[in-house]
């Protein structure tokens, strides 16, 4: 659930744009920073200290496993949520992320009804 997550700062990674974020029930959209995958570094995470990272399941230059592995490697302790409104079997992806990036609090948002 995104609405109950500490959203003191939100990091939107990859192909997400402001219009995508507008559809989510976030308490403060002014606290969203949009960055590319290559910008997700330990320094950025330390500077912004996001409580939430969001991305699409797949973007032009990375997928959610790439980002989960990067977040784990740099010591991110917040939550990572993937927007995937038309996914048929989210359990498979959750299982893969859990196996390869066990230190990441990961979930898939399939629609507003799940928030």
- Express each pLDDT in 12-47 by its tens digit: 998 866 555 566 655 556 678 889 999 999 999 999
Decide: 34 and 18 in contact? Cβ < 8 Å.
Answer: yes
pLDDT of residue 24: 61
Would you say residue 41 lies in a domain?
yes
Total residue length of the chain: 115
Would you say residue 4 lies in a domain?
no
Would you say residue 100 lies in a domain?
yes
User: What backbone torsions phi and psi does residue 32 show, to the nearest 5 degrees?
Assistant: -95, 130
- Nearest alpha-carbon partner for 70 in 28, 91, 101, 94: 101
- Note the pLDDT tens digit of each residue in 61-105: 999 999 999 999 999 999 999 988 788 888 999 999 999 999 999
| Residue 24's CATH number | 3.40.50.2300
């Amino acid at each position: 659930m995104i609405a109950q997550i500490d959203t003191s700062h939100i990091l939107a990674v990859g192909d997400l744009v402001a219009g995508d974020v507008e559809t989510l029930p976030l308490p403060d959209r002014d606290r969203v920073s949009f960055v590319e995958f290559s910008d997700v570094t330990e320094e950025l995470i330390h500077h912004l200290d996001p409580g939430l990272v969001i991305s699409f399941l797949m973007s032009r230059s990375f997928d959610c496993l790439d980002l989960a592995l990067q977040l784990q490697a740099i010591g991110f302790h917040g939550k990572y949520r993937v927007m995937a409104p038309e996914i048929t079997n989210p359990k498979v992806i959750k299982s893969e992320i859990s196996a390869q990036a066990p230190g990441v609090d990961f979930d898939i948002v399939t629609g507003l009804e799940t928030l």
